A and B are shown apart, each in its own frame.
Chain A
Amino acid sequence: NAGVTQTPKFRVLKTGQSMTLLCAQDMNHEYMYWYRQDPGMGLRLIHYSVGEGTTAKGEVPDGYNVSRLKKQNFLLGLESAAPSQTSVYFCASSWLYEQYFGPGTRLTVT
């Protein structure tokens, strides 16, 4: 039982490049979330999903897209990376309230 896993762990992008972050959970949770963590700002919700095939915007959705084609996977895409997207990205999943977080992806955009 791996819980929530994220790939990759680290990535460096040049401005304008695109990439996809993958989140997988093996707990059969309905809800999945993508957050970004920046110093002094806590975690901010980017997008979330309440079930397979559904997605919704969170607090800071601009510049990101997501897809939930399978219940266990939640993908976060950056179509044209910007330096402002340099951050640590966390995925989480839950049944209702308690969220389980992955180990994070550290992304640097130069």
Chain B
Amino acid sequence: QQQVKQSPQSLIVQKGGISIINCAYENTAFDYFPWYQQFPGKGPALLIAIRPDVSEKKEGRFTISFNKSAKQFSLHIMDSQPGDSATYFCAAKGNNDMRFGAGTRLTVKP
């Protein structure tokens, strides 16, 4: 079964809008929660990551919100730009095992 559930599968937002992608996990042993960005034909690249001892982390226009009790975390992209159009994956890592969500294809319309 998928240990990390990601939604939505696809998302369309207007330029300047806020993109929100959600993930939920099951295994409480996970201790590292990254988000990866992937452009077509390329490998995933780390965008931002959070550890469970903080509830929020912000880097530029990208923010992770983390709710340990609900076992949920989300990615917020502020002022979304057409260049942000890509597939985004959440992930959760425990020991040496990284589990990925199924991905969200984000399209930002100009």
A residues bordering B, Cβ < 8 Å? 4, 31, 33, 40-45, 48, 50, 56, 58-59, 90, 92, 97-104
Among A31, A100, A101, point to the contact of B96 (Cβ < 8 A): A31
B97 lies within 8 A of A58 (CB):
yes
Could you tell me the distance in whole angstroms from the C-beta of B3 to the nearest C-beta in chain A? 9
Specify the chain B residue showing the minimal Cβ separation from A96: B32
25 contacts between A and B (CB under 8 A): A4-B43, A31-B96, A40-B102, A42-B2, A42-B4, A42-B89, A42-B103, A43-B89, A43-B91, A45-B97, A45-B99, A59-B97, A90-B43, A90-B44, A97-B32, A97-B93, A99-B98, A101-B43, A101-B44, A102-B43, A103-B41, A103-B42, A103-B43, A104-B41, A104-B42
In the bound complex, what is the Cα–Cα distance between A89 and B96 (angstroms)? 19
A97 lies within 8 A of B99 (CB):
no
Could you tell me the distance in whole angstroms from the C-beta of B16 to the nearest C-beta in chain A? 29
> Number of B residues whose C-beta is below 8 Å from A?
25
B96 lies within 8 A of A98 (CB):
no
In the bound complex, what is the Cα–Cα distance between A72 and B41 (angstroms)? 24
Specify the chain B residue showing the minimal Cβ separation from A56: B96
Specify the chain B residue showing the minimal Cβ separation from A42: B100
B43 lies within 8 A of A98 (CB):
no
Among B42, B46, B101, point to the contact of A98 (Cβ < 8 A): B46
Question: How many pairs, one residue from A and one from B, have CB atoms within 8 Å of each other in the complex?
Answer: 54
B residues bordering A, Cβ < 8 Å? 2, 4, 6, 9, 32, 34, 36, 41-46, 49, 89, 91, 93, 96-103
In the bound complex, what is the Cα–Cα distance between A4 and B42 (angstroms)? 12
In the bound complex, what is the Cα–Cα distance between A42 and B89 (angstroms)? 7
* Closest CB pairs A-B (n = 6): A101-B43, A42-B100, A43-B100, A42-B102, A97-B32, A101-B44
In the bound complex, what is the Cα–Cα distance between A33 and B100 (angstroms)? 13
